[in-house]
Amino acid sequence: MKTIIEILTDKVSEAFEACGYSKELGIVKVSDRPDLCQFQCNGAFSGAKLYKKAPMIIAKDVIEKLQSNDIFANLSVVGAGFINIDVKDSFLLGYVAEILADDHLGIKQTTKNETIFLDYGGPNAAKSLHVGHLRSAIIGESLKRLANETGRKTVSDVHLGDWGLQMGLVMAELEERGDYSLSGEEWSNIYPLASQKSKENEAFKQKAQDITAKFQMEDPKYFSLWKKIMEISVAEIKETYDLLGVNFDLWHGESDSKKYMNTLISILENKGLLVESLGAMVVDVSEPTDNSPIPPIIIKKSNGASGYATTDLATFIEREELCHPTELWYVVDNRQSLHFTQVFRCVKKASLVPQNTAIYHLGFGTMNGKDGKPYKTRDGEVMKLRDFYNTVYDTVFKRVEDSTFSDGADKKDIAHKITIAAMKFGDLMNHRSKNYIFDIDKFTASEGKTGTFLLYTIARINSILKKVVNVTANKKADKIYSSSEKELLLTLALSNEAFELAYNEKAPNIICENAYKIASDFSKFYSENHIVGEQDQLKKSAWINLCKATKTILEKHLYILGIEPVEIM
């Protein structure tokens, strides 16, 4: 289905053409001055240069052609030649009705057969998830849902860091204890201890490195211990992702790339890309236009071990074989941008995927504490994701517990959903590439640009709808009665535009903005009109319809953001 902007652009372009001007001039956009009009077209100004005519004359010619029409309510030329546009109420209502009747709620569907492969999450096994893992999970999940909503197939992979020294460290520690039972012990205790020990104790460090080399070569003892650790660790990681409502199609890891290692090496060799440098085998990925030096990518270290970059390269072969993706999106911290520049260049040089496959590193900034530094516990430790969730949950639960309107409801479930909404919306409302400060009071406030406010809006609509269950919808409710109503309808009508833009820019913050706009427009509409007590039945029907439309469209926004609504609040 076409967006409202496309429909208007089509009409205005036709008018430009009918007047003998170029059709490209008819681009319509949302008005910069919503107080004056809903939409505008500035094409007369570019036309003035092309046709050596005053923009005013061009604009007047064009609106002349648009007069008798069932879309436009008001067309005027203002200033030196801006075309101001308002649409008819019947058109606006009809358009929103069309969105609601559409299977995809008006979201533009791709016409191609596209598969997007998303790599997000990326936690290291044998460690607990910590706050540093939050952003990748939240942003990745949202981008996946967004791509799905546009009709694209997606494959998501958590890409566990399961092949590195962290595994060897944990094994070395268990070995020293002489206890491999792993019963009930949390990684949060074992790993930091082992990591600290390796810094102070050279022999221990050596031992961990030896064990790492051994399990990587599938030495029976350590490989079976590795499997056991993986089983327990993955179960714990899954539990935390489940809590956050973050899901993956694949639970592959760096270790899965080993099957492709020989293929990778032979491809690189055959293409003559692999060269020796200081005992290591590397691929030069520098380009003449580089402003700063891009170092070669290390394929095999001098001790024969392969590292992070090698596993990422081999994983490309795996992914291509698995689903031949049209695009691959890596939702990973900004600080890894050099790594991805090197890897992606090498992928293209070696043609590990077809040349037209698009590969993106969708980087993100850090979540900081109020001191502007990466969020920490009070003792300055990295905070476990579970503890972080609990901190927010406790604050929210106290409030829900004290509220009387949710009596009888499952308060724990409500508090959980508000917690998730606060965390996710607080994160996603910032452009992913920026850092942000986590402010628990601000993020959980029920007013303002927060996830809580959005849930509150849904709960409020639910409560209205409950009070009017007996009102039968009147089909003839096809009028707009107030200005706040019209504003809300316009925002709803522009939602599919926001979804499209968010997809193109891979920026869920655009969806947050639109969701907030809907909720604030609704709040104004609600406070200016007495929906439940309204006597005029046609008016009441129109308003109830608008409540339902708002709920449906707002819930779609929330779904894409990975936020579940609450029934009451």
Distance of alpha carbon 376 from alpha carbon 382, whole angstroms: 5
Please provide the DSSP assignment of 226-291 as one string: HHHHHHHHHHHHHHHHHHHT---SB--BGGGGGGGHHHHHHHHHHTT-EEEETTEEEE----TT-S
Distance of CA 513 to the CA centre of its chain: 13
Minimum CB–partner distance for residue 265 and ligand ARG (Å) = 19
Interface positions, 132-171, toward ligand ARG (CB under 6 A): 159, 161
Minimum CB–partner distance for residue 80 and ligand ARG (Å) = 53
333: exposed, middle or buried (Cβ count in 10 Å: 0-12, 13-18, 19+): middle
Minimum CB–partner distance for residue 316 and ligand ARG (Å) = 10
Characterize the bridge pairing of strands 436-437 and 82-87.
Answer: unpaired
**Residue number, 151 or 363, with CB nearest to ligand ARG:** 363
Distance of alpha carbon 566 from alpha carbon 462, whole angstroms: 9
DSSP 380: S
Minimum CB–partner distance for residue 296 and ligand ARG (Å) = 18
122 binds ligand ARG (CB under 6 A): yes
Q: Which one among 61, 141, 312, 497 touches ligand ARG, defined by CB under 6 A? A: 312
Q: Which one among 9, 124, 154, 166 touches ligand ARG, defined by CB under 6 A? A: 124
Element (H, E) at 82: strand 82-87
Helix/strand number for the chain, H first, E second: 20, 13
**Residue number, 72 or 330, with CB nearest to ligand ARG:** 330
Give the CB-nearest residue to ligand ARG.
Answer: 122
Interface positions, 326-355, toward ligand ARG (CB under 6 A): 330, 332
Q: Which one among 119, 173, 485, 497 touches ligand ARG, defined by CB under 6 A? A: 119
User: Which residue has 């992979």 as its token pair?
Assistant: 157
Distance of alpha carbon 307 from alpha carbon 166, whole angstroms: 13
Characterize the bridge pairing of strands 82-87 and 115-119.
Answer: unpaired
Q: Which of 71, 41, 33 is nearest to 58 (CA)?
A: 41
Tokens found for residue 52: 């050596």
Minimum CB–partner distance for residue 110 and ligand ARG (Å) = 25
Which window, 94-102, 118-126, 497-505, 546-554, contacts ligand ARG (CB under 6 A)? 118-126
318 binds ligand ARG (CB under 6 A): no
Minimum CB–partner distance for residue 342 and ligand ARG (Å) = 12
Minimum CB–partner distance for residue 312 and ligand ARG (Å) = 5
Minimum CB–partner distance for residue 121 and ligand ARG (Å) = 8
**Residue number, 51 or 308, with CB nearest to ligand ARG:** 308
**Residue number, 143 or 546, with CB nearest to ligand ARG:** 143
Tokens found for residue 57: 């004359």
Minimum CB–partner distance for residue 159 and ligand ARG (Å) = 5
**Residue number, 159 or 517, with CB nearest to ligand ARG:** 159
Which window, 77-85, 108-116, 117-125, 419-427, contacts ligand ARG (CB under 6 A)? 117-125
Query: Which residues fall within 8 angstroms of residue 288, CB to CB, at 6 or more apart?
Result: none
Element (H, E) at 167: helix 165-177
For residues 512-546, b (16+ Cβ closer than 10 Å) or e, as one string? Answer: bbbbbbbbbbbbebbeebebeebeeeebbbbbbbb
**Residue number, 58 or 353, with CB nearest to ligand ARG:** 353
Which window, 72-80, 119-127, 407-415, 455-463, contacts ligand ARG (CB under 6 A)? 119-127
Characterize the bridge pairing of strands 367-368 and 274-277.
Answer: unpaired
# residues contacting ligand ARG (CB under 6 A) = 8
**Residue number, 124 or 452, with CB nearest to ligand ARG:** 124
Task: Assess contact for 363 and 337: CB atoms under 8 A.
Answer: yes
Distance of alpha carbon 293 from alpha carbon 280, whole angstroms: 19
**Residue number, 21 or 120, with CB nearest to ligand ARG:** 120
Interface positions, 243-282, toward ligand ARG (CB under 6 A): none
Task: Assess contact for 438 and 388: CB atoms under 8 A.
Answer: no
Minimum CB–partner distance for residue 314 and ligand ARG (Å) = 11
**Residue number, 122 or 508, with CB nearest to ligand ARG:** 122
Which window, 37-45, 116-124, 424-432, 444-452, contacts ligand ARG (CB under 6 A)? 116-124
Q: Distance between the two ends of the chain, CA-based, in angstroms?
A: 35
**Residue number, 46 or 334, with CB nearest to ligand ARG:** 334
**Residue number, 106 or 161, with CB nearest to ligand ARG:** 161
Minimum CB–partner distance for residue 332 and ligand ARG (Å) = 4
**Residue number, 24 or 321, with CB nearest to ligand ARG:** 321
3-state secondary structure of 39: strand
Minimum CB–partner distance for residue 253 and ligand ARG (Å) = 9
**Interface with ligand ARG (CB under 6 A):** 119, 122, 124, 159, 161, 312, 330, 332
